[in-house]
Every structure is written in C-alpha cells, then in structure tokens.
Amino acid sequence: MSAFAKRLVRLTGGLLLALTAVATPVVVFLGLIVLTDGAGSGLAAWLTTLAVASVVALWRSRRRTRAARLVPFVPVVVAAALTATVCVPTVPTTRQFPPALPFVATQHWSLNTGSRVAVYHYPPADPGARRPIPLVYLNGGPVRGISVLDHRFLQLLARQGYDVYAYEQAGGGRSDLLPMDQYTISRSVRDLNAFIHRLGKGKVDVLGFSSGGVVLTRALADPSVSARMHRAIIADPGPMDGPTSRITGHKGRPSARDLAPGMTGPRSTHIPRYAVAFGLMRLGLLTPDTGLIGQAEGDNAFTAADLGSDTASAYCARDAHRIPSEDTADNFSFSPAASLRIQQTVRDSPSIAPQLRRSKTPTMLMIAECSSQVRQWATAILAHDPAVQRTQYMPGVGHHMWNGLGDNNDRAAAVVSAFLQGEPTPLPNHPGREEIPTFLRDRR
C-alpha cells in the first residue's frame, strides 16, 4: 500500500472516529429526550448527556500527555453545541394569535364547557332572501384555523341567503387554548352542543368538513346533541371511532401528492428544536403535552410549509400544478400537539355504530372523487346511520371540495343548498347503502 493510501486510510478512520464521538452523545441526548418526555425544555436530557460525555472524555484523557488531554473534550463541546439548539426556543412561548381578518369581524364566545372560541358570522347578503334555519360550519384540522379559502365558501353560502356561523374549535385559530389533557373528541362534541345553545336560534343545520365531519358524526350519535340539529352534512370525513380508524383500504382517485411543486416558505422543521419535537411527537415517542415545547410555542412555530404534501393530497392529480393558496401566512394557524391528542382519543374510542344506528337527523354525505381519506371512513357512516338520506359523489375535486378552482365552489354550494332545502339532487344519489360493496370493489 502506498504512503498516500495509508494516509488516506488513517485520515478516513480518524474522521469516522471523530464523527462517532460527536454522534454518540447526540443519540444519547435524543434517547434521554424520549425517556424524560422533553422535561425542562430538554435541559434535563442536555445536562445529563453533557455530564456523562464529560466523564467519558475525562476518563479517555487520563493517560494522555498534557497537550493532548483536551482532545477528547472537543467532540463533547461540538455535541453540546448541536444539542443545545434543541433546548432554546426561537419563537415566543406565549400564544401569538393571528391578526383580525379584514373582511369579517371576530367575536369571542365563552361556552358553558369552559371553551372560549373565535366566532365568525356571515349574515345573508340579501335579508329578504334569508333562509329560516342558521347554518353552522365545522372546519377540519382537528385544531386549525379556518382558512381564507373556507371563508370565501362561507361568503358564497351567505350570498345565497344562508345565515352562516362558524367557529374555530378550542385551541385553533383565534380561539383560546385548553390544557392539553382537555383536547378530546368528546370535548369537541360538547363544544358543538354548547355553541348551538349559545347561538340561541333553535335548531340549526350543520356542515362538518373532514375532522369537523367526525365531530358532527359523533354528535349525531348523541341524542342530546342531535336534538338541536335540523339537518346535517358530512363532507369527506375522517374515521368516526377507534374501530373505523384501524380500517385499511384504498383512497379515492389519485391526488396531487408527490406531483405538485413543493410548498414554499419558512418551515419550523428546518429548526432543530421543532424538527425534533414535531418529529418525535408524530412518531409517538413524545406525548402531545411534552415538556420539550409548550402548546403555545408549537402553535407559534408551525407554518403552512410544514404541512408538506398534505396540502397537495387535498387536490386531484390533474390540479397538481394549479393548487391555489389556501390561506395567508398571517391567518394560518395549526396546533400539531392538540390535533394529535384529539386524533388519539378518536383511535382509543369504542365503536359508536350502535348509537349512530338510532340517529334520526336527516343527513347528507359528500365524498370527493380524489379524496385522500380512506373510503371506508365515509362508507362506515353510510352503512350505520339510517338517517343518511343522500350521498353525493363529487367528481373532479379532491378532499378540499370547495377550493376556488373553476366552478368547484358553485358546484359544492349547489349540492349543499339542494339538500338543506329539500330539493332534487344536482348529482346522482351515489353510492347508496346497497352499492357500498361495488363502490369499494371498483376503487371509486
């Protein structure tokens, strides 16, 4: 072996040893973050790692010459600097709420459940054409602000005579936060009941989209809540309970996921602190109420770009290169920890099918052609709720059915209005209950 090759081998070996010396305490730190659930903003794990690594470095340096005794401490210092970035907040740790919207007033209602929620009211544009029943909108999330795109759809419904009310669920948007252990799907249902009671206008129609559709489905299974509803519309829902959430199956027609250009803008996941926190929470290695980052800090840090391909998955593949901007940077709000907590309570819940079979509230189910939701999440509702009178399979749209592209908003509004007014369906009533096996087999 030539002298050059020997030097290269020694250099490569030394570099690998140095990288190992740095990586080992970093791995130990991450393990301690998991074991301590991020206690003390990660400082408990950091101090323990630093102490152990320093002891090891001291032991390694005991037989070295005076000049070389500091060498084992170099990787410790580098690892300490790298891991310290996980312990230092880079955004405010108290909740920074989005600024007021320029086109609608934000009200704040205190509900009898203890939640304080942000409320938006779109009265009928023409009071003479007012529909007699108020319409309440439940957005998706689960704990997310109402997007500007959704606000535009609500304005369209108001122009058609509907008296529209929407509220951001506790912890989302401009609504006040809850203690983490109070974010449950049952609390969401109680908040809906309390909101309708606070509205004080008798029975209401309710439109629930995505996770809002889950809240609505579970409300229909609760006679004390469903008694307050006139009609219900469930739009492309998530899983209604634990057994449904464990169903594996196909989704709708191909979505724009992996086809659309990547999301632009700042990402909290490019910052070590939030990359570690959100990543470990998503893997289930940190609890939603982890001591690493507080709920408010996580909400402040999370950006629209952090959603990655989730946004593209709400659109058809054919729309991959014309996905609209759903929100503004100022208005965007998403609570990753609270959302994970609510989703977990859904997964842990028993079947609601027996209660749903007793539902009597007239209901319509909307299913998107290119839905990113597992098809059985919607068909389970159709199969178990005898009060589902109408199913509308929405062609040409993804999960976000009112997306501002072409005439999609108008088509969605026409379907909603026809059902609420008891008018003939704009689309075929499909799939019916007897068509569920064929619908699933054909991978529609």
Span 353-399, pLDDT tens digits: 999 999 999 999 999 999 999 999 999 999 999 999 999 999 999 99
Report residue 37 as tokens. Answer: 């659930």
Sign of CA dihedral 240, 244, 245, 250: negative
Is beta strand 363-370 parallel, antiparallel or unpaired with respect to 229-235? parallel
What's the pLDDT at 11? 59
Residue 16 has pLDDT above 70, yes or no: no
Does pLDDT of 161 surpass 80? yes
Residue 32's pLDDT is what? 94
Which band of pLDDT confidence, cut at 50, 70 and 90, is reported for residue 52?
confident
Phi, psi of 140 (to 5 degrees): -85, 180
> How many other β-carbons are positioned within 10 Å of the β-carbon of residue 356?
24
Give the pairing type, strands 116-122 and 164-168.
Answer: antiparallel
pLDDT single digits (tens) 263-305: 888 899 899 999 999 999 999 999 999 999 999 999 999 999 9
Asked if pLDDT for residue 17 goes beyond 70, the answer is no
Token pair, residue 228, equals 């307050």
DSSP code of residue 233: E
What whole-number distance in Å separates Cα of residue 444 and Cα of residue 438?
Answer: 9
Instruction: Give the pLDDT mean for 1-13.
Output: 60
Q: Where does the pLDDT of residue 24 fall: very low under 50, low under 70, confident under 90, or very high at 90 and above?
A: confident
pLDDT above 60 (res 8): no
- pLDDT tens profile 123-143: 998 877 778 999 999 999 999
In the sheet with 204-209, reading across from the earlier edge strand, the strands are 107-110, 116-122, 164-168, 135-138, 204-209, 229-235, 363-370, 388-398
Q: Do residues 214 and 208 make contact, with C-beta atoms less than 8 angstroms apart?
A: yes
- What dihedral do alpha carbons 17, 20, 21, 27 form, nearest 10°? -170
By DSSP bridging, strand 164-168 and strand 388-398 are: unpaired
b or e along 248-273 (b: 16 or more beta carbons within 10 Å of the residue's beta carbon)? eeebbbebbbebbeebeeebbbebbb
- Both tokens of 320, joined, read 């991959």
Average pLDDT, the chain: 92
**pLDDT by residue (tens digit) across 167-218?**
999 999 999 999 999 999 999 999 999 999 999 999 999 999 999 999 999 9
Cα distances (Å, whole numbers) of residue 57 to 8, 15, 73, 262, 362: 26, 17, 6, 44, 71
Q: How far is Cα 122 from Cα 153, in angstroms, rounded to an integer? A: 11
Using 50, 70 and 90 to split pLDDT, how confident is the model at 79? confident
Confidence at residue 95, expressed as pLDDT on a 0 to 100 scale: 95
Which of 366, 317, 375 lies closest to 153, judged by CA? 366
Residue 1 has pLDDT above 70, yes or no: no
Average pLDDT for 98-119: 97
The top-scoring range by mean pLDDT among 4-13, 23-32, 384-393 is 384-393
Q: Is the pLDDT of residue 15 over 70?
A: no
Mean predicted confidence (pLDDT) in 325-353: 96
**Whether the predicted model's global pTM rises above the 0.85 cut:** yes
Number of helices and strands in the chain (H, E): 16, 8
pLDDT for res 56:
82
SS3 231: strand
> What ranges make up the beta strands (E) of 69-128?
107-110, 116-122
Mean pLDDT within 101-105? 96
Phi-psi region of 200 (alpha: psi -120 to 50; beta: other; left: phi over 0): left
Distance between first and last Cα of the chain: 65
pLDDT on residue 319: 95
Question: What is the rounded CA–CA span in Å between residue 378 and residue 59?
Answer: 62
